[in-house]
Amino acid sequence: MTTLQRRVEIKPTKPWAPSFKDLLPDLFTFVITFVAAFATVGFTPLKGKLGFSVMVIIYAIVFSALLSLIRQDGKAAVNSITTVLVYIAGLFVILPLASILYEIVKRGIGGLSFGIFTTDMAITATDAPLTEGGLLHALVGTLYIVAIATLLSVPIGILTALYLTEVKGRGAGVVRFFVQAMSGVPSIVAGLFIYAVWMIALGNSYSAAAGAMALTILMIPTVARTSEEVLKLIPNDLREAGVALGGTQWRTVAMIVIPAARSGLITAMILGIARVAGETAPLLLTMGGADALNLNPVSGNSSALPTYVWKNFMLGTETSIQRAWSGILVLMIIVLIFFTFARLVGNRQGSSK
Amino acid sequence: MFYEHDLPMTTTQERSFKAPVKRELVSNPRFSDKVFRKVVTSGGYVSLLILGLISLFLLFNGLTIFKSEGLKFITGFDWIVYLPEEGLPSQFGIGAMLYGTIVLGIIALFFGLPISIGAALFLSYYAPEWLKKPMVTVIDVMAAIPSVVFGLWGFFVLMPHAEYWAKLIHKYLGFIPIFDMPANAFSRSPFIAGLVLAIMIVPIVTSISREVFAQTPLDRIQAAYALGATKWTMIKSVVFPYGRGGIVGGAMLGLGRALGETVAVYTVLNLFYDIRIEVLLSAGGSVASMIVNKFGEASPDELKALMASGFVLFLATLAVNLVANTIINRTVRKG
């Protein structure tokens, strides 16, 4: 018997995928929607971008429903309407972000220069030209508060996560529940709390450290919850292997679990930083807001980027608002750098698994 | 070492064996482990401690106000501060601000919830594969934008548009009392602040809804399709019934965010110490914004009243969050 060995190339086929002919009616609806919307805006009193967008939405719903009704039935028409609505909802999520990022760059870039990173506002009048003054004091303040808040909240956050995943004590359910609730504490309440403890009860003055403590309260839940998710992903085999080698729980956690989760824990830290770097309300209550550079983090009025933005916005002159937008641009760049960094670290862990 | 011939061979012998006592599988933890567990446990309870301290300190500082104002603190509209030499008792009531806060929350949910659910449906069932990841990133970036940015954007960019929309609503729906306008003041209204809040709560509500929709059992989805359901019929009859609790929880979580938002609201809202039902009018209230507004030049008495307001706000948001998380935990994060 001879076997004829023939290699048959089998291409994956997708019989369900719509062909060009199937897509033609949809394309037709798409075109006619825009044509009709243009016509309506052109020949009726309805004017402007708003009128056009509204007409596009209405025509898209009407035409796609009609088409489905003609080709199929009422149920298909309802399906078409909801499909259009869902796509619009998806668009509405992207639009504000696009607008915000565009406006920040457009309005902030004008006041950006090398000079603003080297000077503060101590001797600059509120309506001085943009070439004078800068946000050095705010940048240093933000650096201080973020560093102190990280030092305080990361150990607490990771200990909380360890308690929830490794020790699993009797109170684990309650702690998890309240950590979740803590992430909803309004930032202004954190500021009031630190003011009540640090200023009223303990008699201290405004300082960067006070602001950092308020941010710590907001940062702990983010760090704790992200760390918990990360530690949950560590396979139990690793823990069992550690114990089987005669390790105590302490050594298993310190030598095996935490090193395995390292990049995830770093992600948790960075996400926490991104969460608090832009907080404004608690800092207004705890830092005092200063125009001069204050290198002492534990005493004296100081400023951070959000309070700098806020102060300049409230001054309301043309140049101060320009300064506010430039401050926002710098703040957003910092937040997005942290955000991207967290993504990169997180993704690297995901792919190496 | 046991060999085969050592083992009991017959059944009679087997019967005479006594079952050995089960060995304890519990070991005494070493000293290092005891320390480790103590340290981790105390670290875990720090969050509880902080929450307890927050309520304790705010309550303690606001206690005199709660005592002197009584229930009027919640229901009263007046915020009048008299200096000690004027000899009159100051009046503190946050009724109007509480009402305004709730109105803002409702407006934010009215606009934010449909968009969030729609976007979550889009991401789960409609979007092409290549679009899903970028869009999830977009939503995460939105969650990371500081509130002061939303505030300034709302003030300078959204407000001119939103004023125009408000005028349209007033023109065509003005016969409904809440869209009535006693004065021509469309800027800095609860409507505009609510729109900003709606955009701010979209990321969290969307991601919770998406998490909920992902839990829908696949066999039910396929069963619905096999019975000839359209996509929408499938969503209506399978996805929504399964995810109802989770969506409610996500909406409440968004509401909690909206209630506690401070800076963004303060930027775009005109605070007004009376209850106005007209949402397009430039007069609204927000407890959190009021605290920032009054804090700068507050007298010692007023500061206590602000602490009391903070306590009320804290309790309200905590309650909303606890309920929301209970609902979400029950529907989504089982086990």
- Which domains are seen in chain A, by residue range? 22-110 (no CATH), 136-352 (1.10.3720.10)
Q: Determine whether the interchain pair A310/B148 forms a contact, defined as Cβ–Cβ distance below 8 Å.
A: yes
Residues B64 and B193 in one domain: no
Whether B13 maps to a domain, the answer reads no
Residue B1 has pLDDT above 50, yes or no: no
Q: What is the pLDDT of residues B20-66, one digit of tens each?
A: 777 766 667 788 888 888 999 998 899 899 999 999 999 998 888 88
Q: How many CA atoms lie within 13 A of A46 on its CB side?
A: 16
Q: Domain of B246?
A: 95-331
* B220: three-class secondary structure by DSSP: helix
Residues B198 and B72 in one domain: no
Residues B71 and B149 in one domain: no
Closest alpha carbon within chain A to B135: A94
* Mean pLDDT value across residues A235-241: 90
Residues B125 and B245 in one domain: yes
Residues B113 and B69 in one domain: no
Q: Determine whether the interchain pair A93/B139 forms a contact, defined as Cβ–Cβ distance below 8 Å.
A: yes
Q: Determine whether the interchain pair A185/B54 forms a contact, defined as Cβ–Cβ distance below 8 Å.
A: yes
Q: Determine whether the interchain pair A188/B310 forms a contact, defined as Cβ–Cβ distance below 8 Å.
A: yes
* Mean pLDDT value across residues A70-83: 85
pLDDT band for position A43 (cuts 50, 70, 90): confident
What the block records as the tokens of B40 is 């981790």
Task: Please tell me the distance in Å from B180's CA to the nearest CA on chain A.
Answer: 22
Residue B197 has pLDDT above 90, yes or no: yes
Residues B76 and B111 in one domain: no
* DSSP strands (E only) in chain B: 79-80, 91-92
Whether B6 maps to a domain, the answer reads no
Return the CATH number at B307: 1.10.3720.10
* Mean pLDDT value across residues B311-333: 87
Residues B167 and B73 in one domain: no
Say what the ipTM of the complex is: 0.85
Q: Determine whether the interchain pair A193/B58 forms a contact, defined as Cβ–Cβ distance below 8 Å.
A: yes
E strand or H helix at B118:
helix B95-121
* DSSP structural state of residue B127: S
Alpha-carbon distance of A62 to A65, in angstroms, equals 5
Residues in a beta bridge with B284? B271
Task: Please tell me the distance in Å from A108's CA to the nearest CA on chain B.
Answer: 12
> For residue A200, what pLDDT is reported?
87
How much of chain A exceeds pLDDT 70, in percent?
A: 95
Residues B122 and B36 in one domain: no
Average pLDDT, chain B: 85
Q: How far is CA B288 from CA A318, B261, B294, B311, B324, in A?
A: 28, 7, 10, 11, 21
List of chain A residues whose C-beta atoms are within 8 Å of the C-beta of residue B307: 192, 196
Residues B221 and B305 in one domain: yes
pLDDT band for position B118 (cuts 50, 70, 90): very high
* Mean pLDDT value across residues A330-335: 92
Task: Please tell me the distance in Å from A306's CA to the nearest CA on chain B.
Answer: 7
The 3-state secondary structure of chain A, one letter per residue: CCCCCCCCCCCCCCCCCCCHHHHHHHHHHHHHHHHHHHHHHHHCCCCHHHHHHHHHHHHHHHHHHHHHHHHCCHHHHHHHHHHHHHHHHHHHHHHHHHHHHHHHHHHHHHHCCHHHHCCCCCCCCCCCCCCCCCCHHHHHHHHHHHHHHHHHHHHHHHHHHHHHHHHCCCCHHHHHHHHHHHCCCCHHHHHHHHHHHHHHHCCCCCCHHHHHHHHHHHHHHHHHHHHHHHHHHCCHHHHHHHHHCCCCHHHHHHHHHHHHCHHHHHHHHHHHHHHHCCCCHHHHHHCECCCCCCCCCCCCCECCHHHHHHHHHHHCCHHHHHHHHHHHHHHHHHHHHHHHHHHHHHHHHHHHC
Q: Determine whether the interchain pair A175/B307 forms a contact, defined as Cβ–Cβ distance below 8 Å.
A: no
List of chain A residues whose C-beta atoms are within 8 Å of the C-beta of residue B112: none
Highest mean pLDDT among A131-140, A238-247, B85-94, B180-189: A238-247
Q: What is the pLDDT of residues A148-187, one digit of tens each?
A: 999 999 999 999 999 999 888 788 889 998 898 888 899 9
> For residue A203, what pLDDT is reported?
86
Alpha-carbon distance of B164 to B187, in angstroms, equals 10
Average pLDDT, chain A: 85
Tell me which residue in B33, B44, B135 faces A159 most closely, judged by beta carbons. B44
Q: Determine whether the interchain pair A193/B137 forms a contact, defined as Cβ–Cβ distance below 8 Å.
A: no
Alpha-carbon distance of B302 to B288, in angstroms, equals 15
How many Cβ pairs within 8 Å bridge chains A and B?
275
Tell me which residue in B44, B126, B267 faces A87 most closely, judged by beta carbons. B126
* Mean pLDDT value across residues A34-50: 75
List of chain B residues whose C-beta atoms are within 8 Å of the C-beta of residue A189: 54, 58, 260, 310, 313-314, 317
Alpha-carbon distance of B320 to B251, in angstroms, equals 10
Residues B59 and B179 in one domain: no
**Predicted TM-score of the model (pTM):** 0.86
Residue B161 has pLDDT above 90, yes or no: no
Tell me which residue in B30, B138, B145 faces A248 most closely, judged by beta carbons. B30
A246 sits in the region (left: phi over 0; alpha: psi -120 to 50; else beta) called left
> For residue A149, what pLDDT is reported?
95
List of chain B residues whose C-beta atoms are within 8 Å of the C-beta of residue A200: 61
Residues B56 and B101 in one domain: no
Q: Determine whether the interchain pair B263/A310 forms a contact, defined as Cβ–Cβ distance below 8 Å.
A: yes
* Mean pLDDT value across residues A217-226: 93
Choice between B151 and B24, residue whose per-residue pLDDT is larger: B151
List of chain A residues whose C-beta atoms are within 8 Å of the C-beta of residue B43: 155-156, 158-160, 162-163
- In degrees, rounded to 5, the angle at the alpha carbon of residue A125 between the alpha carbons of residues A121 and A129 is 90
pLDDT band for position A350 (cuts 50, 70, 90): very low
Residues B251 and B118 in one domain: yes
Residue A334 has pLDDT above 60, yes or no: yes
* Mean pLDDT value across residues A42-55: 74
Whether B23 maps to a domain, the answer reads no
Alpha-carbon distance of B309 to B324, in angstroms, equals 22
Q: What is the pLDDT of residues B60-105, one digit of tens each?
A: 988 888 888 888 888 888 787 777 677 777 788 888 899 999 999 9
> For residue B16, what pLDDT is reported?
63
pLDDT band for position B6 (cuts 50, 70, 90): low
* Mean pLDDT value across residues A111-131: 77
Nearest CA-CA partner of B261 in B234, B291, B223: B291
- The residue out of B48, B64, B86 marking a domain boundary is B86
> For residue A47, what pLDDT is reported?
66
Choice between B199 and A318, residue whose per-residue pLDDT is larger: B199
> For residue A349, what pLDDT is reported?
53
Residue A85 has pLDDT above 70, yes or no: yes
Q: Cβ of A216: how many Cβ atoms within 10 Å?
A: 25
* Chain B interface includes A59 (CB < 8 A): no
* DSSP structural state of residue B184: S
- The residue out of B60, B86, B112 marking a domain boundary is B86
Residue B334 has pLDDT above 90, yes or no: no
Whether B11 maps to a domain, the answer reads no
Lowest mean pLDDT among A119-123, A216-220, B259-263: A119-123
Alpha-carbon distance of A327 to A297, in angstroms, equals 21
Whether B205 maps to a domain, the answer reads yes
Residues in a beta bridge with B91? B80
Residues 202-221 of A with CB under 8 A from B: 217, 220-221
List of chain A residues whose C-beta atoms are within 8 Å of the C-beta of residue B207: none
Give backbone dihedrals phi and psi of A248, rounded to 5 degrees, phi first. -75, 170
> For residue A353, what pLDDT is reported?
36
Nearest CA-CA partner of A304 in A119, A124, A140, A121: A140
Task: Please tell me the distance in Å from B262's CA to the nearest CA on chain A.
Answer: 6
How many folded domains does chain B comprise? Answer: 2
> For residue A352, what pLDDT is reported?
40
Lowest mean pLDDT among A67-71, A305-309, B290-294: A67-71
* Mean pLDDT value across residues A60-69: 84
Whether B2 maps to a domain, the answer reads no
Residue A64 has pLDDT above 90, yes or no: no
Q: What is the pLDDT of residues B169-196, one digit of tens each?
A: 888 888 888 888 777 778 888 999 999 9
Cβ pair A246, A340 in contact under 8 A: no
Residue A104 has pLDDT above 90, yes or no: yes
Alpha-carbon distance of A211 to A283, in angstroms, equals 5
Q: Determine whether the interchain pair A93/B119 forms a contact, defined as Cβ–Cβ distance below 8 Å.
A: yes
